[in-house]
Structure 1
Amino acid sequence: MQSAVQQRDAFIKTIKHIRTVVQKVVANSGPKNILRAPDSHKIAEGLFLSAATHWEELCQGLLLVDLATDNDSLLFKHVKGFRTKNGSHHLAELLVSHLDHPHSFYDWSDFNKLHTRANKLFPKGHRFAPPAGAPTSQKTCLPAALLEDLIKFKRLRNAVAHKSDKAWETFMKMIKESPFSLTSSQRKGITPGRFMVTKQWDGQIVLLTALDKLETAAKSLVP
């Protein structure tokens, strides 16, 4: 099992790779280039879905490694010794991966749920909790603004992956609100990919800003 730092670094490496691909796609898109608008929009959706999936894997991986190595975790609280060298890792994976089975699957894209779950597995001061001395209003280690961004990413991810009426309605509501504030005419004919490639957020296209924020979130989880 990789350490927390190794997992963070692997995630950041992936995000940087996706970022370079985005830049190549943008540079080669346009009326006179090899990629037309629908091409770049569809590619953007795939790249964002890849980034979101790796983020979920990072969150799951960090919870696993902490549970398997933290002497104050729930696992070590009930087990004094392990028969094999990697016994704690195997038990941690079973506990984390199958805690909700068979009633439901676990949604790793919801950071608030991840925080709540970590509270049940670790004492105060764990990786997913706010640091000591943080305002009482802060519920997780991530700043409130970044936590809101992760909620946006989940809505965007669902709009790409699910195509359900609820996912689409949530996506349309999100782009209508601040900071995007798209008008009815701007929302006409919009797709998640078109939104990520053609609309601006913090001075650059939405997709690049989303990648930057995911990298910042990873560095917040593993300083």
Structure 2
Amino acid sequence: MSSQTYHRDQFLSTLDHLGSVYAKVAGALGRKGLFTFPDHHKLAEGLFLSAWTHWEEFARVILLDDLSEDPNGFVRADVKKFRVKGAPRRIAERVLVHPDHPNSFINWDYGLVKSRADTFLGHGHRFANTLPRASDLDKMKRIRNAVAHKSDRAWASFKGVVKYPPFSLAPNQMKGITVGRFLVSHNWNNQRVILECFDIHRAHAWHLVP
């Protein structure tokens, strides 16, 4: 098994786990249940954010692997022999992180991952082809920002997503809306939004590592 396949399977396993947690929470709702509906909404936000964080980590580690292994990439193009086995990956990490790491935050947004791949990898790298649901990933990013940032701009962007197709929430549905409530109370492709988000991550994981 290649390291990229291992990382893909780990990410898919994480998504499965998050889906099972969601099912347990949804099954423990109600007057005599363990969770209230506000609990459900808040926990859904956490599950969604966890999936997004693991998605960024997945993209990061396979980019690191590719940079350390690609014979046409920046690290190996001019170096034919390394002194020790782990040197290519350590050099790849130093190339991809900020010089002030670990004191500075490194952004692993997928668009930036693709841009770095274009810069440091050979032609035809795995990030070159557009993700099959890139526009949906952009919607998810705007949803994620409304959880992570809580800024007026992020909230306005979130509302701009949910009131247009494929969601098309009516004005009365927008009253009192939260990200968590949206994720668990509305559908996307005939299933709850949060579950469709997990499926989008799965599709992209298989796209990057077939």
Quote the residue 1:112 is aligned against: 111
Task: Please report the TM-score for the alignment, with normalisation by the length of structure 1.
Answer: 0.88
| Number of aligned positions between the proteins | 208
How far the C-alpha of 1:203 sits from its partner, in A, is 0.8
Q: Distance in 2 between matches of 1:218 and 1:95?
A: 24
Aligned-partner residue type, residue 203 of structure 2 = T
Conserved 8 A contact 2:70-2:122: no
Which ranges of 4 or more aligned residues in structure 1 deviate by more than 4 Å?
99-102
Query: Which structure 2 residues correspond to residues 17-56 of structure 1 after superposition, within 5 A?
Result: 17-56=17-56
How far the C-alpha of 1:105 sits from its partner, in A, is 4.3
Q: Distance in 1 between matches of 2:166 and 2:99?
A: 37
**What SS does structure 2 have at the residue aligned with 1:181?**
coil
How far the C-alpha of 1:117 sits from its partner, in A, is 1.7
Quote the residue 2:181 is aligned against: 194
Aligned residues: CA RMSD: 1.8
How far the C-alpha of 1:30 sits from its partner, in A, is 2.6
Quote the residue 2:139 is aligned against: 152
Quote the residue 1:206 is aligned against: 193
Aligned-partner residue type, residue 11 of structure 1 = F
How far the C-alpha of 1:80 sits from its partner, in A, is 2.8
Per-residue CA deviations over 1:161-188 (Å, capped at 9, x if unaligned) read 1111111111111111110011111111
Q: State whether structure 2 residue 206 is matched by structure 1 residue 222.
A: no
Quote the residue 1:128 is aligned against: 127
Task: Please report the TM-score for the alignment, with normalisation by the length of structure 2.
Answer: 0.93
Aligned-partner residue type, residue 187 of structure 1 = M
Structure 1: stretches of 5+ with no match in the other structure: 131-139
Q: Distance in 2 between matches of 1:221 and 1:56?
A: 13
Q: State whether structure 2 residue 163 is matched by structure 1 residue 176.
A: yes
Quote the residue 1:60 is aligned against: 60
How far the C-alpha of 1:51 sits from its partner, in A, is 0.5
**What SS does structure 1 have at the residue aligned with 2:144?**
helix
Per-residue CA deviations over 1:67-118 (Å, capped at 9, x if unaligned) read 001111111113232222100010101111227979x744323x23322221
Aligned-partner residue type, residue 42 of structure 1 = K
Structure 2: stretches of 5+ with no match in the other structure: none
Aligned-partner residue type, residue 181 of structure 1 = S
Q: Distance in 1 between matches of 2:62 and 2:100?
A: 18
**What SS does structure 2 have at the residue aligned with 1:108?**
coil
Q: Distance in 1 between matches of 2:128 and 2:152?
A: 34
CA gap 1:197/1:12 in 2 versus in 1, 3 angstroms? same
Aligned-partner residue type, residue 15 of structure 1 = L
Per-residue CA deviations over 1:106-162 (Å, capped at 9, x if unaligned) read 4323x23322221111122101012xxxxxxxxx2x12xx10111111111111111
Per-residue CA deviations over 1:185-216 (Å, capped at 9, x if unaligned) read 11111110000010111111100111111111
Q: Percent identity?
A: 47
